[in-house]
Structure formats: C-alpha cells, structure tokens
Amino acid sequence: MLEQVRLIERVRGACRADHRLEAALMYGSFADGSADEHSDIEFWLFFATAPPDPRTWIEQVGPVTHLVHNEFGAHVAFFAGLIRGEFHFAGAADIASVRQWPAGDVVIVADRHGELARARPQGVIDRTADVCGRFANWLLLAHHVGLRGERLRQRDALAHAQRHLLWMARLAEGRTEHWLTPSRRAEAELGAATVAALGRTHDDVGAAWQIGRALWLKLDPDPPGA
C-alpha cells in the first residue's frame, strides 16, 4: 500500500472526529485514479466555525517536517518520505462555490448535511482563450530581455511561453484532458515529435518561435499579420 493511501485514511479519520468540520473533499490524482508513488494528497476542508490552526490539524494526519502557506492559499505539509499534502482550510459558506469549479473528479470525504453533494463541480473549462496571442506576448518579452542581457528573466518569460505552447499543442493534437495543468502527462499524451520540440524551448527563443509558429498555423491557417 502506498504511504499516501495511509495518510488519506488518517485524513478521513480526522474529518470524522472533528465536529467543527462541515464537509471535506479530496481532489487531484488520488481522486481521478491516476496517482502513483510520486503523487501529492490534496484536500479542501470546510469548517462550520473558524478554521483551526492548520499545523495543529494537519499533525493529526502525521508528523510534519515543514509547513508552507503557498501562493494559491493552500497549506502544504511535507510528510515523511518527502510526501506533499495540500490542505485548503475554508468556511462552510464556501461550499457553494465548489459548483463553479471546472468539472472534474473529486471524492467527498465528509459531508454532514449533504451540501457538498449538491455542489459538485460543474464549471466549464475555458479552452477559448487566446493562447496563441499570449504565447507571442511572452515570447516577445523573452526576446527583448534576452537582448538586454537579462538571461534569467528571459528564461522566466520562456517558461510562461512554454506553458502556452503546451496548450497550443494540446489543442492541435486534440489532447485537452489535462488542460488546467498542460504539462501533466504531456510526454504520454502528446506526439513524440512535439515533446522533443518542446524540450528545446525553455532557453531558446528561436526554437520556441519555430514550434509556436507551426502550431499557430495548425490552429489558425490565417493568423494575424500573415
């Protein structure tokens, strides 16, 4: 049994025992069935009262080596074996907002009054954004800052450009299942030639433009300025 599965069971037990908790759900790879030994465990916890101290609550699950409040609002715990656990602490009033999440697999861990079951994610993932134009925007920035000699900033801009290239590739190849995190399983889901080309774009403006132009023409044979 994976250690993550043992930790998940401890989360279930902690949720059952905590009567302040109104509802809880698990999302991510253990919810959609794609998890392996490298996967995180990921939860939203909705409390009827003020959320408890995150570290105190999470330490019911297992010893915490380090805890960080990340830029997305989650408290990320480092468990033994370098296992990551993401915990979002929220109020019961936030349960209704789950309905607006992009439709996807979640597992209800606790639901004392059935509110979470009535608020399953039903939102539509927006695949209509101008990913080609946004790719060009980041690539042009990378070009200019590189000419200025800001190589680290150029690589940062190229990382953003590469993320948009992944979206473009997924649209071009009809592999949009991992749209929210386009790099996820990209090596398995995109063509070998595409993956090889993308592997050269993280520090090469010319390589990024070459594959970006080809993908753009696949998606729009008459692009702006053509």
Q: Band of the pLDDT at 102, cuts 50, 70, 90?
A: confident
Q: What is the CATH number of the domain that holds 51?
A: 3.30.460.10
Both 59 and 155 in a single domain? no
CA angle 188, 191, 196 (to 5 degrees): 95
Looking at the domain assignment, is residue 146 inside a domain? yes
Residue 24 forms beta bridges with which residues? 45, 110
CATH code for the domain in which residue 183 is found = 1.20.120.330
Asked if 121 and 136 count as a contact pair (C-beta separation under 8 A), the reply is no
143 domain-assigned: yes
The alpha carbon of 32 is separated from its chain's Cα centroid by a whole number of angstroms, namely 13
The verdict on residue 187 lying in a domain is: yes
- Specify if 47 maps to a domain: yes
pTM: 0.85
**How far is the C-alpha of 120 from the C-alpha of 97, rounded, in Å?**
9
Each residue's pLDDT tens digit, 192-221: 999 999 999 999 999 999 999 999 999 988
Please say whether the beta carbons of 8 and 30 come within 8 A: yes
Q: Give the C-alpha distances (Å, rounded to integers) separating 225 from 26, 128, 209.
A: 46, 20, 15
* 8 shares its domain with 108: yes
Q: Which of 86, 119, 152 is where one domain is finished?
A: 119
Looking at the structure, do residues 111 and 141 belong to the same domain, yes or no?
no
Instruction: Work out how many domains the chain is built from and give that number.
Output: 2
Q: Do 79 and 156 share a domain, yes or no?
A: no
Q: Please tell me the distance from the alpha carbon of residue 137 to that of residue 164, in angstroms, as a whole number.
A: 10
Range of the domain at 164: 131-219
Cα gap 113→127, rounded to integer Å: 34
Question: Same domain, yes or no, for 139 and 212?
Answer: yes
Residue 226 pLDDT > 60, yes or no?
no
Reported confidence tier of residue 89, pLDDT bands at 50, 70, 90: very high
Q: Is residue 224 part of a domain?
A: no
Domain shared by 148 and 107, yes or no: no
pLDDT in tens, 4-50: 999 999 999 999 999 999 999 999 999 999 899 999 999 999 999 99
Residues 97 and 179 in one domain: no
Domain boundary among the residues 119, 152, 180 is at 119
Tokens of 220: 């729009």
Domain final residue, candidates 119, 145, 180: 119
124 found inside a domain: no
Calculate the CA dihedral of residues 147, 150, 156, 157 and round it to 10 degrees: -30
Let me know whether 163 and 203 are in one domain. yes
Whether the per-residue pLDDT at 225 is higher than 70: the answer is no
Based on the domain organization, do 112 and 45 belong to the same domain?
yes
Same domain, 114 and 142: no
Domain membership of residue 66 (yes or no) is yes
